[in-house]
Amino acid sequence: MPKLAERFTDIQIRNLKPSVVSKLFKKAVGNGLFIVIKADGSKHWHFRYRFNSKENTLSIGRYPNVGLSHARDEVVKAQKLIVQGINPSDAKKQAKQARYGKQANSFELIAREWAASYFMNKSTSHKEKTLRRLEVYIFPWIGNKPISEITAPDVLQAVKRPQSQNKLETAHRALQATGQVFRYAVQNGKAIRDVTVDLRGALPSPKVKHMASLTEPKDVAELLRAIDGFQGTFTVESALRLAPLVFTRPSELRRAKWADIDLAAAEWRYLVSKTKTEHIVPLSTQSIKILTEIQPLSGHGEFVFMGGHDPKKPMSEAAINASLKRMGYDTQTQITGHGFRAMARTILHERLNIDPAIIEHQLAHAVPDNLGGAYNRTKFLDQRKVMMQQWADYLDEIKTNK
């Protein structure tokens, strides 16, 4: 019978209609619990009680999301708080504030805050890749948790998912980014320590993957002839021809700006995106010729190699590798846009007997010298100017000697 009575009461509540004479219609259920029916037909549970000789009302929830039995349970909990000398309304406010406080310190929120700060002067593509990695492999598992409550096992469980998908390098990168977020949180008083420190060695070391490159002169010569015969947009053709001559990072080549290039001085000066250091690329006569030829097309804009769909943006990140694929090259095993750097480094040292220190400086690698000095943009500049012309002449020579 109790169940039938309760079911009948619930049916009664379900069938309650708003009053035609009043905007609010109240129905007492018992024990201080009542339901308010608004003019729009919505029904809301409330608990009326006295605390410190004052009448209070506690909102419990909306029917039918909060059913009758649930509403009665909430009344019982509130009555227990009153007996303990706690105002149920104050307890609810404190719980809500604590919940929002935790959300404000959630891992995802702090991670996005870190990204906005950390990537301020870094490439957009690097930021997007890092955030995408966190969004796919980290946020779904620990994103909503307060960062101060996340443990090393929590993080490990998350990064082991890409590892189980044979994406070991992705797992390492996700773990690295997670550690950076934790260190940011520690620095800003939102976490006590970086728990990822406890995960050193938890993932197996990834196999070192070298960028595909060609280092045999005969293979390089064949590639250069293929580039000369490539038919694409004039922008991509020009970028392909310039890439082996300057051997900069692909991102730096596609973002080359006319404001950074001095054709009269035969120099290209820019800020290295990876190390945030100023760099100088001496331009060979062959490089100047290519830039002079494309200047009428893009010289009025910002970027040397304009985007195909939007001239205000640089050439697509995938343009060079896509062109190499069209020429029949495997960008996984033979050559990539980044591979021109390894090609130059190897041949300049092994074939042209250039001092490795000079080569490394031209590659903008921050390798300390014997005195501990870091990379200096002007160091070996005279020797680098000679080397860059010698390199361009060498490429011309092997290309024509079949």
> Letter for the amino acid at 2?
P
CB-based contact 102:95 (threshold 8 Å): no
Length, in residues, of the chain = 402
The tokens describing 112, both together, are 């996005």
What is the per-residue pLDDT across 242-254, written as a single tens digit (0 to 9) for each? 999 999 999 999 9
Instruction: Tell whether the model's pLDDT for residue 144 goes beyond 80.
Output: yes
pLDDT at 362: 93
Q: Give the mean model confidence (pLDDT) for residues 312-327.
A: 92
CA angle 263, 265, 271 (to 5 degrees): 80
Which residue, among 194, 185, 181, has the nearest Cα to 111 in the 3D structure? 181
* Per-residue pLDDT band at 374 (split at 50, 70, 90): low
The overall pTM is greater than 0.85: no
Q: Are strands 54-63 and 43-51 parallel, antiparallel or unpaired?
A: antiparallel
Instruction: Tell whether the model's pLDDT for residue 299 goes beyond 90.
Output: yes
Residues identified as active-site: 249, 274, 338, 341, 365, 375
Choice among 33-42, 45-54, 392-401 with the minimum mean pLDDT: 33-42
Which residue, among 292, 288, 257, 287, has the nearest Cα to 271 in the 3D structure? 257
Domains, the chain, ordered by start = 2-97 (3.30.160.390), 107-199 (1.10.150.130), 217-400 (1.10.443.10)
> Cβ atoms within 10 A of the Cβ of 169, count?
14
Q: Give the mean model confidence (pLDDT) for residues 87-100.
A: 74
CA distances from 396 to 221, 247, 268, 304, 345 (A): 9, 15, 21, 23, 17
Q: Give the mean model confidence (pLDDT) for residues 37-46.
A: 83
Which residue, among 397, 34, 15, has the nearest Cα to 225 in the 3D structure? 397
* Per-residue pLDDT band at 277 (split at 50, 70, 90): confident
CB-based contact 47:58 (threshold 8 Å): yes
CB-based contact 178:155 (threshold 8 Å): yes
Q: Are strands 267-271 and 261-262 parallel, antiparallel or unpaired?
A: antiparallel
* Cα distance between residue 68 and residue 196, in whole Å: 46
**Better pLDDT: 211 or 75:** 75
What is the per-residue pLDDT across 98-137, written as a single tens digit (0 to 9) for each? 665 556 788 999 999 999 998 887 777 778 889 999 999 9
